[in-house]
């Protein structure tokens, strides 16, 4: 997961990712990246909602493909979510 760079427009990236999750709603990575952008934009409620979807889809995929990436474990250390780490909902979502 790539952090937002100074030369990127987070608002445009948010719109693009919203289109991506609409086109491919079963992609955990698309939802995860949307959550990261929303967190960076200071939209914690929307970030948590997108992250919840991402982690549910990731968990479903892990059942079928145990070697796939575990986004829950990744979210714990993802710097995009640093401001959410004290949020009770974030803690519940990322609890092992």
The answer to whether residue 48 sits within a structural domain is yes
From the centroid of its chain, how far is CA 40?
11
Is residue 21 within 8 A of residue 33, CB to CB? The reply is no
Mean of pLDDT over the chain = 91
Q: How many domains does the chain have?
A: 1
| pTM of this structure | 0.88
In angstroms, the CA 45 to CA 47 distance is 5
The answer to whether residue 3 sits within a structural domain is no
3-state secondary structure of 83: helix
CATH of residue 61: 1.25.40
Cα-only R_g, the chain: 13
The answer to whether residue 78 sits within a structural domain is yes
The answer to whether residue 46 sits within a structural domain is yes
Secondary structure (DSSP) of 26-76: T-HHHHHHHHHHHHHTT-HHHHHHHHHHHHHHHHHHHHH-TTS--HHHHHH
The answer to whether residue 4 sits within a structural domain is no
Amino acid 11: pLDDT: 81
The answer to whether residue 5 sits within a structural domain is no
Q: Which domain holds residue 58?
A: 10-94
Dump pLDDT digits (tens) for 46-85. 999 999 999 999 999 999 999 999 999 999 999 999 999 9
């Amino acid at each position: 997961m790539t952090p937002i760079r100074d030369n990127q427009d987070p608002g445009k990236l948010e719109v693009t990712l919203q289109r991506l999750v609409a086109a491919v709603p079963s992609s955990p990575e698309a939802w995860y990246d949307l959550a990261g952008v929303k967190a960076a934009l200071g939209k914690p409620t929307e970030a948590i909602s997108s992250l919840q979807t991402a982690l549910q889809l990731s968990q479903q995929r892990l059942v079928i493909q145990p070697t796939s990436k575990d986004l829950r474990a990744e979210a714990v250390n993802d710097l995009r979510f640093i401001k959410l780490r004290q949020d009770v909902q974030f803690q519940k979502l990322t609890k092992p």
